[in-house]
Structures are given as C-alpha cells and as structure tokens.
C-alpha cells in the first residue's frame, strides 16, 4: 500500500501503521470506515481504551459530510496526537494483577464464576451476552468453574511496539522542529563573521 494508492499522505511509520489497520475495516476501499468500528481499530493497533474513550474518539472523528463514517485523515490526525501523549496505553501485567487483587481481598488467588460473571455483565462498562460467552471460553477453568486470574492474565498477554513508535515519531518531529529553527541563528552568525 503506497501513499499514492490510497490517496492520503502518510508522513511517517506511525501513520502507515494506523492506515494499515484502518484498511482492514475499509470495506469499499475509499478510506472511510463505519464509525462503530473505531473501537476495533484502536484495539487492534494496540491501544486499550475504555468504552468511554472510544466514544469520545468516535464523536471527534466522525465525518460531518458522511454521518456514521470516519475518514482516515481525520482519524490519523486525532489519534497520532493521543498516541504521542501515551493515551489509552495498555496496562502492564502487574497493573492488571492489582485490579484482580482488588476483587479478591481474601487472596484466594481465584474468583468464582458467579461473582466475576455478575461483575463483568452488570458493572463498570458491562459486557453483553456475546462478549461474556467469548470471555468464558478463555477465562474459566472447566473443572473448578473458577477463574484463576493469574493464569488468565498470562493467557492474554499482548505486546505492542505502537507506543515506542509513537515516541520515536514524536522525537523525530521535535528534532526536525529544532533543526528548522537553528539555521536562522547560524545565518546571523556567519553574517556577523562576514
């Protein structure tokens, strides 16, 4: 996929990466996706937004001319800034473990299906039936019917270099900005010398 082919200027590796994931949902190859797929795009990229964060982005990037659709350029512009600010960064395994520990004050090292199920389907940003079914497929120990959460955490580890990439791009931009300013000072100096 080249910049010319898709008709949108991609200025760096980060934008290319975003465009590639975006294109998976671009059904008609016209650089638009259904706005409701934004959550998917973000998560596949490697971000871990809350549903609320997804909504904010949906609202901010939805096209005015084509309601219900989001264009690649607007999406890139909005997201690159967020990524460089390290928004929606996925938690480390330790942080997730801490979250589970909050739910397991007696330190049993597992949660019951009943408790966890109720929590996940009724509180926070609840899962719907389909999401619950998907979760049980990986989370539950079929023999004890419990969730041994440490094991679960290890099952679903997923590393990403997205934020490293964002950092590098941010760095490049900052340095390019510095270089842009420097020649003025150089010029005035040489002028003096002459």
Partner 1 sequence: MLRSCVCLRSESTKRRSSSVEDASSCRSSEIERVGASMQTTTLGPNGQPQPVAAQTTTRASSLLQLFQRKGWCKHFRKPLRGMSASRAEKTIRAAIFIQKWYRQHQARREMQKRCNWQIFQNLEYASEQDQAELYKFFNDLIKNMPQAAATGNKYHQNSRISILEEDGELVEEAGDIVSTRIELPITKNDIDRLIDVFRKKKGNRLHPKYVAMILREGARCLKQMPNIVMVSTAVSQQVTVCGDLHGKLDDLLVVLYKNGLPSTSNPYVFNGDFVDRGKKGLEVLLLLLSLYLAFPNSVFLNRGNHEDSVMNARYGFSREVESKYPRNYKQLLLLIDEVYRWLPLGSVLNSRVLIVHGGFSDSTSLDLIKSIDRGKYVSILRPPVTDGEPLDKTEWQQIFDIMWSDPQSMQGCKPNTLRGAGVWFGPDVTETFLKRHRLNYVIRSHECKPNGHEFMHDNKVITIFSASNYYAMGSNKGAYMRLNNQLMPHFVQYISAASQTKRLSFRQRMGIVESSALKELAVRMRDHRDELELEFQKCDPDGSGHITISKWCCVMESVTKLGLPWRLLRDKLAPGTDSQSVNYVTTLDLLDTDVIMEAEADGTTVMDALYANKSSLVTIFNIIDADNSGEITLDEFETAIDLLVAHMPGVYSKEEMLEKCRMMDLNGDGKVDLNEFLEAFRLSDLHRKQQQEEDMRRRSTHRTIQNPSDSVTKLANAISKNTAVVEQDIDPTDCEADAVDPK
Residues that bind partner 1 (CB under 8 A): 1, 20-21, 23-25, 27-28, 30, 32, 34-37, 39-40, 42-44, 47-52, 54-56, 58-59, 62, 66-69, 90-91, 95-96, 99-100, 102-103, 115, 118-120, 122-131, 133-135, 137-138, 156, 158-159
CA dist 19 and 76 (Å) reads 8
Residue 53 burial (10 A CB sphere; 0-12, 13-18, 19+): middle
| Closest approach of partner 1 to the CB of residue 17, in Å | 8
User: Shortest distance, CB of residue 62 to partner 1, whole angstroms?
Assistant: 7
Shortest reach from residue 110's CB to partner 1, in Å: 14
Which whole-number Å values give the CA distances from 36 to 43, 69, 133, 186, in the listed order?
13, 8, 21, 51
Largest CA distance in the chain: 85
Quote the least distance from Cβ 175 to partner 1, whole Å.
Answer: 23
């Amino acid at each position: 996929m080249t910049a010319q082919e898709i008709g949108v200027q991609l200025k760096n590796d980060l934008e290319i990466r975003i465009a590639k994931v975006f294109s998976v949902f671009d059904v008609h190859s016209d650089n638009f996706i259904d706005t409701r797929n934004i959550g998917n795009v973000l998560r596949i990229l490697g971000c871990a937004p809350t549903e609320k964060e997804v909504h904010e982005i949906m609202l901010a990037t939805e096209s005015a001319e084509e309601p219900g659709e989001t264009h690649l350029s607007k999406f890139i512009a909005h997201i690159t800034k967020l990524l460089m600010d390290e928004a929606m960064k996925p938690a480390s395994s330790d942080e997730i473990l801490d979250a589970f520990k909050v739910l397991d004050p007696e330190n049993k090292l597992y949660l019951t299906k009943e408790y966890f199920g109720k929590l996940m389907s009724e509180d926070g940003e609840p899962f719907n039936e389909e999401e619950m079914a998907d979760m049980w497929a990986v989370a539950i120990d079929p023999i004890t019917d419990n969730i041994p959460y440490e094991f679960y955490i290890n099952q679903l580890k997923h590393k990403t270099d997205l934020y490293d990439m964002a950092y590098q791009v941010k760095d490049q931009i900052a340095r390019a900005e510095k270089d842009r300013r420097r020649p003025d000072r150089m010029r005035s100096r040489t002028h003096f010398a002459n």
